Structure 1
């Protein structure tokens, strides 16, 4: 141990006072099934490991972020929060930081094995709370990641896998990641995509660090959108059209800028001088770029912005949108984003069947009977 490290959430986290709030549509809805398709947890063994690593700079800001969120670690706190929402269960995944940031590739492989065992135990022990889990993998060692994905799905019962928008700054359309994409497609599992950057990613080339937490508020959305573009133009969806890629935060920027994504990328190369032609060349695509972007799935984790959800629904269609909250990272440290996400869904002009599909049916269809209950 080095210096004065942060408090360990296993022993230090306490439940804070309830936050005053107004009544929302989510408060009065019936006990219809609701499965949160993108929310986070930190099993106790993982929390211990996270707070033991004082010499990994990439973990510093995320340790600070999680250390005062009781529901990440304390199940009693988490379950009390969930009780507010009748019929509500969660598809859990491992809270950030990415496993790739845990020192050496060998250390990262050890961490994800421990994490997946813990996530499987939580799901098996609380099927009334957790409908399933998405496995963690460490893509610094692609072969080991494929082995762990097979183990998590085949032995532990994972219904999907969570990845991040890059691997230590490397884009996921690099050739070395091809075996992972092939195996994820073969296993036919849900692939949750989470953004990833920190304050060391500057806002402008002349600066050394991001200011005002722009790296999070706007940077994460750019990360998601750039990831989608590289998956499209890198030919990943061309080679594996059955991939089920769930993009966090409503599909990020793509629905809102579809006018640029569509006609703009129909003219790919027109803005690039001939000597930079290689920057626009990739594998041949059989469809318009816009058509590939519509092949992604999006969640409802938009934090009380119904206009943004409406845009995502218009772009992807109700059959490709899944209810999710990003809990427990709201100002209330748990229930706030669940409440606002449910309220947003209920504000939409949807047929009852469409609403039920978003709340749980689409996830059940994509996971093909692998959920508990």
Structure 2
């Protein structure tokens, strides 16, 4: 069977967690998802791991800039990136490559990390979140990240976080709204026009965008509509074949990537089986399915 590359899976570097706990003892109690054992226990992760699948790993939602000053945040990101690489090397039978962390309150060091990623084949990109330091990821202050990522052809993995100013946040719907809004803000900022080789992989099948194709087309400019189609998206919506077909219709067969969000949602190792079942039931050709499972990610990285 052909190898399947899971573009969006997560781990929790244990030393990073321990370092944060020294100053934030309640970090686990405040973020209960950190208690999922298979985020950091790779013996569990290896149990019943799906055959012919290898994961691209990125850090779970645990960002030093939320707790520490710019200097310490940068130090922790550099250290955590080394830890992520070691996790991949120690578990190379299931983990293929690493997406690097960046300190959003230290853009000088973030640029250095992007430069390091561009020279290091063990990294495949950087992870950004829909918001940072209380601001949209498309805030002018963060534009240098997109500029440098495009210049050095370092892909961006875009993951949602809650907007803490809202009182009704929930895990089912809020993150999909935040992803959609971040995509809208990136398009509105004109980043795909300024940085035409920019590569952004969006979690959760592009969230609300495929469903609102017509609304986007008729309420925004033609260029903005076309810019929405420049995102890459994964298949991490826990199944739902028809929704994946809708995402495929909107983004095209070259921009949909196999991704599972493992190990979340289905214990102990995530919804990989559910996601693969949904992909296998899509009304698509064998060649398109192969693109989703493997070729699209490889081609995206080659272009970078």
Q: TM-score interval w.r.t. the shorter chain?
A: over 0.9
Question: Is 1:140 aligned to 2:105, yes or no?
Answer: yes
Over 3 Å off, 4+ runs: 50-53
Task: Give the alignment partner of residue 73 of structure 1, picking from 37, 40, 49.
Answer: 40
Question: Is 1:310 aligned to 2:250, yes or no?
Answer: no
| CA contact 2:45–2:268 (8 Å) conserved in 1 | no
| CA contact 1:327–1:333 (8 Å) conserved in 2 | no
Q: Which residue of 2 aligns with 1:280?
A: none
Over 3 Å counting, the alpha-carbon distance change for 1:61 and 1:149 in structure 2 is same
Q: Which residue of 2 aligns with 1:112?
A: 77
Task: Tell me the CA shift for residue 163 of structure 1.
Answer: 0.5
| CA contact 1:201–1:215 (8 Å) conserved in 2 | no
Q: Which residue of 2 aligns with 1:224?
A: 179
Q: Which residue of 2 aligns with 1:19?
A: none
Over 3 Å counting, the alpha-carbon distance change for 1:369 and 1:226 in structure 2 is closer
Secondary structure of the residue aligned to 2:272 is helix
- TM-score, length of structure 1 as denominator length: 0.77
Task: Give the alignment partner of residue 290 of structure 1, picking from 214, 220, 225.
Answer: 225
Task: Tell me the CA shift for residue 215 of structure 1.
Answer: 3.1
Distance in 2 separating the partners of 1:178 and 1:238: 13
Distance in 2 separating the partners of 1:107 and 1:56: 19
Structure 1 segment 43-192 matched on structure 2, within 5 A: 43-54=13-24, 61-62=30-31, 64-67=32-35, 69-82=36-49, 85-155=50-120, 157-192=122-157
Count matched residues.
304
Task: Tell me the CA shift for residue 50 of structure 1.
Answer: 3.8
Task: Tell me the CA shift for residue 99 of structure 1.
Answer: 3.3
Give the greater-gyration-radius structure (CA).
1
| CA contact 1:194–1:247 (8 Å) conserved in 2 | yes
Task: Tell me the CA shift for residue 166 of structure 1.
Answer: 1.3
Distance in 2 separating the partners of 1:188 and 1:318: 21
Secondary structure of the residue aligned to 2:211 is helix
Question: Is 1:42 aligned to 2:8, yes or no?
Answer: no
| CA contact 2:262–2:272 (8 Å) conserved in 1 | yes
Q: Which residue of 2 aligns with 1:238?
A: 193
